[in-house]
Every structure is written in structure tokens, then in C-alpha cells.
Amino acid sequence: MSLDQNSPDTQPVVTVIAGEVRGTTTGGISAFLGIPYAAPPTGRAAFEPPAPVEPWTGVRDATSYGPTAPQVGYPAPIAAILDNVIELGDDYLNLNVWTPDPNADGLPVMVWIHGGAFARGSNRLPMYSGDTFARDGVVAVGINYRLGVPGFGSVDGAPENRGLLDQIAALTWVRENIAAFGGDPARVTIFGESAGAMSVASLLSSPLAEGLFQQAVMESGGGHIAADPADARRVTARIAEIAGVSADVDGLASLPVEALLSAQTQAALELTLNPDPAIWGRTVVDQGMGIMGVFPVLDGAVLPDVPVASIAAGAGRGVPLLAGWNADEFRFFLVPTGVAAMATPELARGMLLRSNMDTADLDARLAAGESAGDALCAALTAVAFALPTRAIAELRQDSATYLFEFDSPSPVADIRAGHAVEIPFVFDHLADAERLAGPEPDQRVADDMHGAWVRFAVTGDPGWPAGEIHRFA
């Protein structure tokens, strides 16, 4: 269900630490859009920790979405399925808030961290609108954070994991300001998909995020992703080489945004076509799987260790976790692009082996008569998504962990229950995701899934026993 934010009944004003903001109220839901939670990360500041927002005088307009982080669009086959709004502007470290009542007290809060392989995405996609959560009594927040090299590139002279520091700054803003929107800063659930889910795992394991949220949801993302700094520097060095600048803050900060994005895009293509560990580093090849070139880095501060290792050592203990995967994750990546159709058994094995992945599941599927493309999609789904999620649950025996599998197939491009297809069901925004979920998605599944997320935010229990896998189909 979508609520029209362009036909406001009223324009409520709320006071946050930096000043007053004016939103809109439609159908009983108040929306405050594009609120900055950190200063604009421009110039050298793009490679520094997030800085506090300068207070403003008067009432700041918060009736329309703010800018997005600098990025390029998805490749054509993916862009035909998944929306990606790009609106450049300096104040892109912003967030959106939807609330059923700014004058309420103690409402549960959900904070959405978007996906996009740490290089794309924003908080302004229609299917990410939090109006449906507000409709059901939850204050919903959607955040932006730095992407690509400014967010996650390992750069000489800059702190690591600036994108994660942005997320921590946004959660700090929520803790300090969400009561003004009716939310309870002690009842915060973070939830994210893909890179957003990997971010959730990172935050769950980070000592710098401790206490900023009480519950967590991971959709299609494990806790095994974190690059070795030396490997990450190889990627940065190649991007700088393409751009013709030094691989440090001075060099990269001197580039116009378009030039940095162009070099980043070329390096990502080179990595995909030739994922040689001798060029890019073992952890970049193994964990990026040819899809991600820049992602969180082991830095001893934000990420002391790979998230699963920190979780095994007790990080996030006591934080209820809802985590799951889609039944056909990798069909989203390999079917529309034609890779699945041209796959041979040799190519399929090679794609797994180049990232040090086990081929046992693939070989069993091939022996059973599956096509190489179908077998490759299924094997990668298991190795990259299902098994890492199960592994986190096994490490959290003393903390409530609820597992799920999404298996409501989309007819679009034969992606079935592919990567990202669950998002409009979680948000109950099926009408805003026809290109992804198809023209006749099952509203019953959306009711079930969205309802489970709301129950989890409200009670810490989505509605099935911890440790069991609930199937949404």
C-alpha cells in the first residue's frame, strides 16, 4: 500500500537537535524526508569520519527526498528489474522518518539500511517507503550512507569503513532525536538487505555500534564479508591508476565525482572479468565474488575481526536476530545477464573454484541432471547466502535467532525467488515493485512477511520458534 506524500493534509513541525523540520501528514501518517544526520562529505571530507550537522535557523523543509550518494546506475539487464534513483547533491548523508504520531511516546523504531553491493542504492526508492510500517504502529527510518570508494575504499590517510561510520552516526542521530517523532530510542530494530544485511552483521559485531540498537534483521547477507586492508588497497591503487592520481586522500579527493565514479566502474568491470587474486588480493576475490570490489575492511576499530568471528566471541549477544535468504538468490545476477544460459559444467565449477567455494553441491546437481546454469545459481545461493546465514544462527546458541526462507517466485526474467524480490513483500509495497515482483505478486505473502517484521519490531518474536526456518511462499 502506498500513501500519497504529495497531497498533505497538514504540515507538522518537529524539533531535532540541529533545528526544526517541517514534514507532511497524509492519511494519518507523517513523513519527514531528507533530514541531514551528518555534514556534507564533500572534498577531503569525503574521506574523513562523518562530521556533525551545522544547526540551522528557521524551519527546514523536509517534505521531499534528499540527494543520494554518488553512484552509477545498474547494468542494463539489472536496471530493467531493480529501480535505482540517483539524485546528486552535497547533503546526501540524510535520512527519512515516517511516524503514525509525532506526539506519541515509546513507539518501536525500525531503521532500514539499503543494499547495492556497497556501491549503489539509496533511501528514496518507492518500495523502501516506511509509510506501511508507520501505518502499523512503528516509527520507520531509512538512511543513506557513503558508497564506493568514499564509503568503503581503503585509502591512505583516511579512516577505514567510512560508510559504516556513517551508519553508526545515523543510529546515533536516531538515539538522540527519534523521541521527537514518537519513537523509543531503547526499542530500535535495524534491518537491511544484501549489502545492508552485511552492514547489519558488521554493526552487530562492532564495538562502536553497541547499544545503538536492540534487535536486528538480515535479509540475504552473511557475516563472512570483510576485506584484508592490504587486499583492499590493491583495488584502491587500480582505481587511482585509472584516474591518473595518487592512491591517497590528496589524489582521490582532487577528482571530480564523475571521474572517480568512472574509474571505480572500470576497475569493477576488470575485477569481474579477471578475478585474479594476484591482482586484487585473495579476500577481495573470495568475498566479493566478482560482484563487489569495495566493502568493509578489517581495521581493528569498527571491525576488529570478520563479523562471524566477533559474533562467535560474543558480539551481539542478547540481541534478537531475524535472518534469512531467498530460495533462488543468484538467479537475479546470472539469469537476466545471460550467464546462466551460457554456463557449462566447466564454467560453473570455475566460477566456484575461483572464489575458493566448495563444488560438492554443484556436482551433485549436475549429476542429477540439472542444467549447468540452474545448478550454478542454486550452488551459489547455498554457498553465498543460505549457509553463511545458518552459520550465524549456529554461533548464537545463547541468543534468539529466527531464520526464514523467502520462496514466492517472481515471473520477471525467470529470476523466481531471486535476490531482492522479498523487499516489496517486507515493506508491503508490491504496487511499487512490478518490474521486480511481477504484475500479480501474492498479497498473502506480503501480509505474512510484513506482519512478521512488525511483530519482531514490537515484541522481538516474529511468530515462530527460534532456530526453526519459516518459509514465506
Domains of the chain: 1-473 (3.40.50.1820)
- Using alpha carbons only, what angle is made at residue 106 by residues 397 and 64, rounded to the nearest 5 degrees? 100
Is residue 194 part of the annotated active site? The answer reads yes
User: Which of 48, 160, 219, 329 is labelled catalytic?
Assistant: 329
User: Which of 30, 122, 154, 194 is labelled catalytic?
Assistant: 194
User: Which of 48, 154, 224, 419 is labelled catalytic?
Assistant: 419
Please tell me which residue, 134 or 8, carries the higher pLDDT value: 134
pLDDT greater than 50 at residue 14: yes
Burial of 398 (0-12, 13-18, 19+ CB in 10 A): exposed
Average pLDDT over residues 342-361: 94
pTM: 0.97
pLDDT of residue 380: 97
**Looking at the DSSP assignment, which residues form a beta bridge with residue 192?**
113, 218
Q: Is 114 left (phi over 0), alpha (psi -120 to 50) or beta?
A: beta
User: Percent of the chain at pLDDT above 70?
Assistant: 98
pLDDT greater than 90 at residue 424: yes
Spatial separation of the C-alpha atoms in residues 35 and 371, rounded to whole Å: 49
Average pLDDT over residues 52-77: 97
In whole numbers, what is the pLDDT of the chain averaged over residues?
96
DSSP state letters, 41-100: --GGGGGSPPPPPPP-SSEEE-SS-----S--PPPHHHHTTS-------S--SEEEEEES
pLDDT digits (tens, 9 = 90+) for 151-200: 999 999 999 999 999 999 999 999 999 999 999 999 999 999 999 999 99
pLDDT greater than 60 at residue 145: yes
pLDDT greater than 50 at residue 332: yes
User: Percent of the chain at pLDDT above 90?
Assistant: 96
Confidence of residue 9 (pLDDT cuts 50, 70, 90): low
Average pLDDT over residues 404-408: 98
- 395 is written with which cell numbers? 554461533
